């Protein structure tokens, strides 16, 4: 089971563990142990293919075009468990760690994380 840090500034990152891989789905070992299907992870990859997108999990009102809001809105119909925008924090770290996306940090927006797909 991989143990990795969430993305972001060093003082805000959190260590978490998950089991599985993007290709076969993952279980987050965080409260509630949400399952994230491979199908859902691939839908994220296809939705944001060839783009750089703000993850947006820090915001109390995630932006409509951000990955966190997409996760929240689409998980009830596309995933095994409904997810919140906070779960996008873990998904972003997994996609980065497994090489499906690259984390981008912008100096002018130090609290935001972007993913390049």
Sheet-wide strand order for 52-54: 52-54, 109-116, 102-106
Two tokens, residue 87 = 């779960």
Q: Lowest-confidence range among 14-18, 63-67, 103-107?
A: 63-67
Burial track 49-66 (b if 16+ CB lie within 10 A, e otherwise) = eeeebbbbbbeeebeeeb
- Global pTM value: 0.92
Instruction: Give the pLDDT score at 2.
Output: 97
Two tokens, residue 59 = 């915001």
Instruction: Give the pLDDT score at 60.
Output: 55
CA distance 16 to 3: 5
């Amino acid at each position: 089971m991989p143990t990795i840090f969430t993305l972001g500034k060093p003082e805000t990152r959190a260590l978490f563990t998950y089991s599985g891989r993007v290709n076969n789905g993952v279980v987050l070992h965080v409260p509630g142990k949400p399952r994230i299907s491979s199908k859902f992870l691939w839908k994220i990859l296809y939705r944001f293919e060839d783009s750089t997108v703000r993850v947006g999990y820090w915001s109390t009102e995630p932006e409509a075009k951000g990955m966190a809001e997409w996760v929240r809105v689409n998980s009830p119909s596309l995933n095994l468990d409904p997810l919140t925008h906070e779960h996008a924090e873990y998904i972003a770290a997994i996609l980065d760690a497994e090489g499906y996306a690259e984390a981008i940090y912008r100096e002018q927006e130090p609290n935001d994380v972007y993913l390049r797909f």
